[in-house]
Every structure is written in structure tokens, then in C-alpha cells.
Structure 1
């Protein structure tokens, strides 16, 4: 049976979306700014639930980790438009990294953790990344390509429970990677003194195809696209 109210509801929904987009464009809204609004409304609600471990991060906890990432990135001397490659399996830290980087306009290149060797080098190379953050589980894959990465590429490792063991392993493999978890523990948790210049239609991060029909291709995700998901 035809529902005569359906077209009207669809039209109302479309108009609301268009008005919302116009408002965000006018205000130069960004994902970090919208996230901050959500944190102020629901600081103690669950933002991320990691099923593998049962770990739960509230919006406030996620924000503090993002602030730590932003301060760390500023200390590295990175600026808006710089790119950092993230090469790790899915876990809450991935969100804290790309969102924290976005707070100062640095763009994350989300590298598919299934990629190896030539495909991995291709994705890192075309991204123009100044640094790579890799999960400890990706250590061997990074070791395979370390000699082919750009000489200026800075490496950071995250996620190893035994940091002393991790450091010894990284040195043995000649990866010369810094321990990101230790750096973030010492990083401030308050908002950085930084005014983001990017707007609603500027780049947020990059995602890559699996590369099943050739080399992986990058897709640019802008702030407005992520907000509409």
C-alpha cells in the first residue's frame, strides 16, 4: 500500500541535511569541532567499544587521548597538510590517532593492514607521509620494506605490551622506531593552543582500496563527507 506521507518525509529529511551542510560551511565546521560539541554533551557515554578486549573509552577519555596525539604531533613540528601514515590493525588507538592529528590539520593515511611489500611501499609513497605509525603486530611487514622507505621517514611503534621487549626487537631489526605509547603517556591531555585553519570541505584523511585489481588507490575523505556518514 502506498504511503502518501513518505515523499514528504523524504523531502523534509533532504532539506534538513542541506540546511545542516550550509550551516557547517558557513561556520567552517570541522570534525574535531563537532566532536568537541559531542563530548560536552555526553562526556561519560561510551564512544568506543573494543570487542576483542572489552575495553570501553568514554567520549571524555577519547578526547584526552586525541589531545595527547595533537600535542605529540605539534612537538614533531608537523603542520596542516602534512601526512602521517597509520599502519595497524583496527583498534581504538586508530581513532585517537587520526582524530588527534586532525585537531591540528595533519592528515592521516589509513594504510590497509593486509598490504605488504610493493603495495605497502606504494601506499606510503603516494601519500607523501612524513612519518609512519605502525602497530607492533605489523613489525615484520615494516621490517621488510624499511630499506626502501624514504630516508627522512620517521617511524613510531604502538601497541606492544612489553615495551622493553619491543625496543630490543626493533633495534635488532634495525627499524629505529620510537615508542609512541610512551610518548603519548607524557603528552598533555588538555586541548592544544592551536586554531585550525581548515574548513568543512577540506581534507580529513585518506583511505585505500585493497588493491585486488592493481595497486591500491587512495580516496580522499573530507570533513563534510565524514560528518554525513
Structure 2
């Protein structure tokens, strides 16, 4: 039997991408929780370049970067497709997954934890990026059509983590009025039984995010 290990962090949307990919394929794996403030020697050995989670180790061979890992999982194991079979649709899925990581997640996260002019700029950047996703999902249940695929898993931060953070910090960015298609997608995605059972507990994330707020210096 193949040896499969995942080095991750329970509250990380990037770790959860990998776990969801493996569970979608029905692959058994050993999960290893990392202390991101005191990273293990194994993590540093397996990912010496970025020194980050997640890392998938398959029969002793490490693969880093969540989107790369998801493609590897799709190719290495039988089961439901993570990426479409059609070459053009596969290219589109890769494009939107990369778009989410580069153009959506950074400004959305920054909008939550910055203040003043910096927050406003981040909100503007995030809003522009979300408009593209709003148009892309139009008329579909999931980005992958009727079934969950690469882009849906890549967008898990947008669907689950971000709304929790928004509420805690008092931010109104991804509203239902402004992004009805994305809001509907987020509901469908988070309430899909497969996704729901693999998301981190809401109350634990709330506790973590409140801790971040308390640790921030008071603004004038």
C-alpha cells in the first residue's frame, strides 16, 4: 500500500485543499499537524525552498504548493476528476485557480487586517478581482459545473474562511447584493456534505481570528 502523508495546519485553507483532494479520490493518508512557529525538521527537509505547508509525501517523495499537489493527486489516483479531462477546460481551471491565489486571496486577506487607506486600497483590489469570479460562476452550481473541481477547492478561502473573518472584523465586501452568484456558490459549496465534513470548526477559527485582533496594536 502506498505511503501518503500530509504536513499541514488544521486551520489553513491551503492544507484543506490537499485533504479535500485526497478524500475526493478516496486516498488514505497520515496527517501531520505542523506548529508554524516551530516548524519540524521533516517539513524543512521536504520543503526546503518555501519552508511552508502543505506538503504531500507520497512513498517518500515530497510535493509542495497546494495547487501543484492537487494536480498530482488527480493524476496519481483513480476516482472523481479534480481537473476536467478536456484540455481547454483544464487550462481554464488552472487559470482561475492561479487567479484566485494571486489576485483574490492576498487583497481579501489584507482588507481584513489592515486599516485606513491601506484597507480601502485592498478592498478595491479585492472587489475588482471578485467581479471576474462573479461572471465566471454565472449559471453554474460550481466552477466545475455540477461537480466540485479544482477551482472550487482553490476558492475554499473565499467560500468559508473569508466570510468568518469579514464578520469578526466588521468588513462588508462580498455581499449577496453585490455578488449574488458567488454568494450562491459559497452556500452550495459549504453545504455540500463532502465539503462540510472536511471544513475546520467555525468556532475554532473565530477564536483564532479574535486572537489576531487582540494581538494587533491599537490604532489611533
TM-score normalized by the length of structure 1 = 0.28
Q: Give the strand-richer structure, 1 or 2.
A: 1
TM-score normalized by the length of structure 2 = 0.29
Based on CA coordinates, which of the two structures has the bigger radius of gyration?
Answer: 1
Q: Give the helix-richer structure, 1 or 2.
A: 2
Structure number with greater CO (CA < 8 Å, separation at least 6) is 1
